[in-house]
Amino acid sequence: MAEKLDKEAAKQAKKAKRAAGKERRGQIFQAFKMQRKEDKALIPWMLGCFLVVTGVVFGIGWLLGIEWLLLPIGIMLGLLVAVIVFGRRVQKTVFTKADGQPGAAAWALDNLRGRWRVTQTVAATTQLDAVHRVLGGPGVVLVAEGAPHRVKNLLTQEKKRIARLVGDTPIYDFTVGNDEGQVPLRRLQNTLMKLPRNLRPREVDALEAKLAALGTRGAALPKGPMPQGAKMRNVQRTIRRR
């Protein structure tokens, strides 16, 4: 009886895995069709990268006298580079569409890779300006989005609130935008990833517990900058997992 149940469970797990794989392939194909409509250079870029990488590997094999042995490896590497190019161009399109929309910074932070603790809209105005709080290895990171003359005051107040609780823990702050001194939306994730690691994981846990009591101030922002970006976001996650 137990053996029969184990076989049934294994069968169901295998079926679920196939269904998940089919769904991922469907998402990627759908995103490819959407991206191709908006990005006329997508196919030339992907094809060019595939041919160049495959040709280079084949050429190295020719010099060594093992070109046909290295050809399958070249094809696999070429396909991998083409997929990476596709993912990067999808990401660029998504960030271009999101740029300047309320909630765009919150959406970008929510898609950070790694062990980050994101609290959206810890302070906000009725004009949809907002400050988001991120906890991680660097310490506390405050990210503001909205009109510069309004978010400057929001940032200052939030830093004062946090500083009273965190002591010597580093506090970084950024304003998302395209003006001087601001961080463009497309570079926000990389900017945070490049910050120095000042805290160990257990120190981040303790910091999160301290700041949990602060709560939020102001109106809430939308959970994302654009409903039409959801499919692209799912594809980005799928590509990162593959």
Please state, for a pLDDT cut of 70, what percent of the chain lies above it.
Answer: 86
Phi first, then psi, for residue 131 (nearest 5°) are -120, 130
pLDDT score of 85: 93
Please give the Cα distance from 99 to 85 (Å, whole number): 21
Please state, for a pLDDT cut of 90, what percent of the chain lies above it.
Answer: 53
pLDDT tens sequence across 13-48:
777 778 777 777 787 778 788 888 888 899 999 999
Query: Can you tell me which residue has the tokens 């959801």?
Result: 230
Q: Which of 9-23, 71-85, 102-116, 143-157 has the lowest mean pLDDT?
A: 9-23
**Residue 111 CB neighbours (<10 A):** 15
pLDDT score of 216: 58
pLDDT score of 44: 94
Q: What is the DSSP string of 126-137?
A: TTS-EEEEEEET
Per-residue pLDDT averaged across 162-179, rounded?
A: 93
pLDDT tens sequence across 203-242:
999 999 888 877 655 555 555 554 444 444 454 454 444 4
Between residues 105 and 1, the one the model is more confident about: 105
Distances in Å between the Cα of 66 and the Cα atoms of 56, 59, 159 are 13, 10, 62
